[in-house]
Amino acid sequence: MKRKNNEQATAPHDRLRELVLTFATLFLMCSMAAVANDGGTLFAQCAACHGSKGEGNATLNAPAIAGQDAVYIERQLRHFRNRRRGADEADVPGIQMQAAAAALADDTAISKVASHVAGLPKTVVANPASGNLRNGTTLYHGKCGACHGGQAEGNAALKAPRLAGLDAEYMKRQFAQFRDGVRGTDPQDTPGRQMAMMAKTVATGRDLDDIIAFIHQQGRPK
Ligand code: HEC
Ligand code: HEC
């Protein structure tokens, strides 16, 4: 009888403790989910290759992504995930990025990290490429500027990304991939197909070097 009384006396305390524990656990889980979904926290895993400011790391083949259009970034992350980009077995940098994109949990994580990256201050390459600027300027304005903008700043309405911060090796590699049917071949990938058509119109490597020299002069502090 006495024992039963004791049980009755402690039961409300146990329930209360249980309730408090449940709330504490729920609170912890919610805040953990919020942290994991926070764009800045997600970006930490990108910074290892793309640099702490998203400025890129040419040694790791990782291009600058800071300040790039959010919709463009999201599209590329989706393309890496669904193997529209980076699926060619010879494309080692593409395969690396495919693994990084696959590590993002879902569409929410993709759009959170994309908007964080898009909000980072734009960067320019540390060592601008050299070339014949006269030829590069003429070719750029004739063949590229209509989509990528007069100062290679990009044009979101035309889905054309900013080029000004991208290192020369990265741009040459992408150009070759568009030209050779590695990137921009999927029938659903309209922006990629547009760029693939354009890449076939630049005849020589020297011309592309000159165009890149022009691009690297853009967006720099004067
Ligand atoms: C292991 C290194 C590595 C990590 C980690 C990584 N990337 Fe990349 N990323 C690359 C490489 C290499 C490329 C270039 C791929 C190519 O040449 O096609 C790339 C390309 C990209 C592109 C395409 C850029 C463009 O201009 O088209 C985007 C966007 C991108 N990464 C975003 C991210 C984001 C966001 C994260 C973090 C969630 C991330 N990356 C993590 C290595 C990495
Ligand atoms: C008809 C519009 C159009 C023209 C003209 C054009 N581009 Fe593009 N370009 C695009 C679009 C759209 C994309 C994005 C493709 C995608 O989403 O994969 C792109 C992508 C690129 C990329 C890849 C960027 C990255 O971050 O990976 C490079 C490099 C590039 N263009 C260079 C050039 C150069 C150089 C010229 C001129 C010779 C040029 N483009 C002309 C529309 C154009």
Question: Of 206, 180, 163, whose CA–CA distance to 72 is shortest?
Answer: 163
pLDDT at residue 2, rounded to an integer: 47
pLDDT at residue 18, rounded to an integer: 73
Instruction: Give yes or no for a contact between 68 and 154, defined as CB atoms under 8 angstroms apart.
Output: yes
Ligand 1 atom with least separation from CA of 73: 29
Q: For residue 66, how far is its CA from the centre of ligand 1 (angstroms)?
A: 11
pLDDT at residue 20, rounded to an integer: 67
Read off the pLDDT band of 25 (50, 70, 90).
low
Q: Once rounded to an integer, what is the mean pLDDT over residues 40-51?
A: 96
pLDDT at residue 163, rounded to an integer: 98
Ligand 1 atom with least separation from CA of 61: 12
What are the distances in angstroms from CA 201 to CA 99, 121, 143, 155, 182? 32, 32, 8, 20, 16
Indicate if the pLDDT at residue 200 is higher than 80.
Answer: yes
Asked whether 147 lines ligand 2 (CB < 6 A), one says yes
pLDDT at residue 204, rounded to an integer: 85
pLDDT at residue 143, rounded to an integer: 96
Read off the pLDDT band of 8 (50, 70, 90).
low
* Residue 122: burial class (beta carbons within 10 Å; 0-12, 13-18, 19+): middle
Tell the residue nearest (CA) to atom 11 of ligand 1.
Answer: 62
The closest ligand to the CA of 81 turns out to be 1
Q: For residue 179, how far is its CA from the centre of ligand 1 (angstroms)?
A: 21
pLDDT at residue 10, rounded to an integer: 55
Ligand 2 atom with least separation from CA of 72: 17
Tell the residue nearest (CA) to atom 2 of ligand 1.
Answer: 49
Indicate if the pLDDT at residue 12 is higher than 90.
Answer: no
Write down how long the chain is.
Answer: 222
Question: Of 101, 103, 66, whose CA–CA distance to 82 is shortest?
Answer: 101
pLDDT at residue 101, rounded to an integer: 96
- Euclidean distance between CA atoms 176 and 168, whole angstroms: 12
Ranges 26-35, 39-48, 58-67, 119-128: which has the least confidence: 26-35
The closest ligand to the CA of 64 turns out to be 1
212 contacts: CB under 8 Å, gap ≥ 6: 129, 131, 136, 168, 171, 172
Tell the residue nearest (CA) to atom 8 of ligand 1.
Answer: 97
Instruction: Give yes or no for a contact between 181 and 189, defined as CB atoms under 8 angstroms apart.
Output: no
Ligand 2 atom with least separation from CA of 79: 18
- Euclidean distance between CA atoms 212 and 167, whole angstroms: 9
Mean per-residue pLDDT of the chain? 89
Asked whether 143 lines ligand 2 (CB < 6 A), one says yes
Indicate if the pLDDT at residue 21 is higher than 70.
Answer: no
Q: Once rounded to an integer, what is the mean pLDDT over residues 169-198?
A: 95
Q: Once rounded to an integer, what is the mean pLDDT over residues 127-148?
A: 96
pLDDT at residue 32, rounded to an integer: 47
Pocket test for ligand 1, best of 74, 84, 91, 97 (most atoms within 8 A of CB): 97
Q: Once rounded to an integer, what is the mean pLDDT over residues 128-146?
A: 97
